[in-house]
Structure 1
Amino acid sequence: MRESFIQAIDNLRANKLRSFLTMFGIMWGIVSIVVLSALGEGFRRGNDAVLREFGRNMSIVWGSRTTMQAGGERAGRLVTLTVDDARAIKAQGRLVNMVSPEIQRGTKVKSAYNEAAVTVHGVEPPYMFMRTIEVDRGRQLNWSDEENSSQVAVIGWEMCKQLFGERDPVGEQVLINGTPFTIVGRIRRKDQDSSYSGPDNNKIFVPFAVMQKFLPRPDAPAGSLSQMLVMPRQHVIDGLTEVLDARTGRVEDIDWPLEREIRGILARRKAFNPDDRDAINVWDTSLQTMFFGRMISAMSSFFRVVGLVTLALGGIGVMNIMLIAVKDRTREIGVRKALGATTATIQRQFFLEGFFLTLISGGLGMIVGVGLCLAVNALATLPIRFAGMIITWPNALMAFGALLLIAVVSSTLPARRAAQLPPTEALRYEM
């Protein structure tokens, strides 16, 4: 085996240009697999991170206007949501896991150091979980704050910088529309490219009960909500695959079970037709998450297929070059057989030449591919939905497995062709 290895390397060195050109095809195939797989993984993780910054699987529900007559009522009525509607959805919804009413309004806020215009959101604790409002200082809003109507607030990262500079805001007081609030937490910095009311970094969150009392909506009847957030149960989220498989149009046009249930509960309370999809607006992030996930997965699969096809073309090049090498060395094969070389020895020799050529090329391609990924991550300014060129173990093992398969397949046929040459015919072959 050692002699076969040395002889294979010597033969490759004896034909440097041919070996280099053959190696380049394999190298390019491995570089394609590594780079394209890393690209697909980077987009997948970047998309997951962006979706998580916006929030976990949830539906955002707004009131709108009816477009159908129902119960003697005319079409075109304004549907206004209240906290009692949110409580009804939580109590009656079989598919509902969490609900939070929400009131939002723009106002002025003043600290001991500065003042600013701010959007204040009155929410209940489940909202903080659904929207991934996570703090890096202090604490979250909790049910005790809600039950006691505590005048406390959680401040966004950018708003904290504007009102307090580099100071720790926890324990500081602010005046929101003239009402004193104590800051109990600061939100970690969030990188968002999607929101329905502005970046969370620029907001202040207070307990819903306090918002109702001190900062109700000035543009709507007393007790009106801006919107409510609803999180479905896990089995509903798990069933999204069937929902998307059955879709015939845009994601926004899918009338999926959770939305139908919410609309049915509100239709009974607000006296509108439950088939009137325009009476309320529902933005379902669960469907958006699944849709984008499928799109990114399809893109990653396409990238991997392109890389594998490129590698396969490189393998065809190796096979072609090795078949040419068998023809060029026909007389050598005859001499070796005449001197006692067995069929197995000849076959092993040519197999190892193709195999080593492919493996060495693949190893160099791996190094180049990883180097390119590291260079992009170090030098480029990455867009928000792209987490960088990320090489994972499954993708690395896939590339290595594909390389081994190509090495074996591209080396076997030329080796068998060489081994099957009759000695007498090989010795008569003219160079």
Structure 2
Amino acid sequence: MRTSPTAGTTATGRRRRIGAAFAAAAALALAGFGTAVQADAATAAPAKATWAKTPCATPKHKGELACNSLRVTGGLTAFQKQQAADGITPKAATPSGYGPSDLQSAYGLTSAAASKGAGETIAIVDAYNDPNAEADLAKYRSYYGLSACTKASGCFKQVSQTGSTTSLPSSDAGWSEEISLDLDMASAICPNCNILLVEANSATMANLGTAVNEAVTLGAKYVSNSYGGSESSSDTSYDTSYFKHPGVAITVSAGDGGYGAEYPAASQYVTSVGGTALSKASNTRGWSESVWNTSSTEGTGSGCSAYDAKPSWQTDTGCAKRTIADVSAVADPATGVSVYDSYGVTAGFYTFGGTSASSPIIAGVYALAGTPSSGSYPAKFPYAKAGTSALNDVTSGSNGSCGGSYLCTARSGYDGPTGVGTPEGVSAFTG
């Protein structure tokens, strides 16, 4: 299984030296002292964001899969830089990543998010238990002015892989960070949706797959999975056991280890979701995106599956078997998303990245688009709109070395790191 470098490796490779005056000012700003960057340091390059893998990105036990998330630990994010440019001093006490209005704007979802999703259920499948899941979700939704989503109202439900609401798995701080990220992204994209959190007993494929099946049994038509690991010859049997659910949109993170395939993103029955760097821009859209890539070992996953058959709707010729990814959304921690978390960490807002963010975002888009037709495989839907205004074609950046091929390098049209693009509204995600 590929792993991402630690914050130290990433930060060292990416951080440029800055003047002492700016460093002091930036530190005060981030600490919430309200000190603006001094004029004599205004022209200095701002400190770049630094981050670390969340604990669940390193499996606890042999045979377990890894979550695909990273948490920002310092420096200025793209969101904070934009705040500074707008004359707002970044403060540690407030969110430092993109919130619901940012994400809805970036992906053309503002109108749909306000009017659609009622009665739809997005399932989030993760390992272990987050005892603070409901409370943390409430903090996120309240801060951003989203309607309450609670167990009492029936909007939020938290169950084990067998459907029990009382006998939940053992709690785990690392996977709780992942759970918070997933729940908040589903909320950000589809505020009117119900949310079902299904917690597997552990991070093995058997337990996570059982949780996927339980999510479908309980009625979810959109199931997000933000984890993965190395491919194996067992994957085709996992496909039919856990992921072959016609009429259900199952999204899976493409991975955070750069160019290279992982499972279950490689399953022919899922929508494999790659990652981008997302920034505000002065173009018509108001945003720009490129392939997320930090280093040769950190960035969005892509590539050819060694085992899974190529679905009929994929027509690229570089992979004889399944190609990763299908679509994409923001994943770069430097342009990360705001998340509220309290279990095992100081309670508050954090900024997260990784394709763990992009998977629930795309699940939310499918939910806004409406229930998939019976017998359909929703991974097919975006391909019908490739090259149209229904998708933002990402054409710059790469996630590794593959001889300049589209499998690791963005181009006009389909490419491995970003698939057919990112959402521009919901029309590309309907059957």
TM (norm. structure 2) is 0.20
Larger RCO, structure (CA 8 Å, separation 6 or more): 1
Q: Hey, which of these two has a bigger chunk of helix by percent?
A: 1
Structure with max Cα Rg: 1
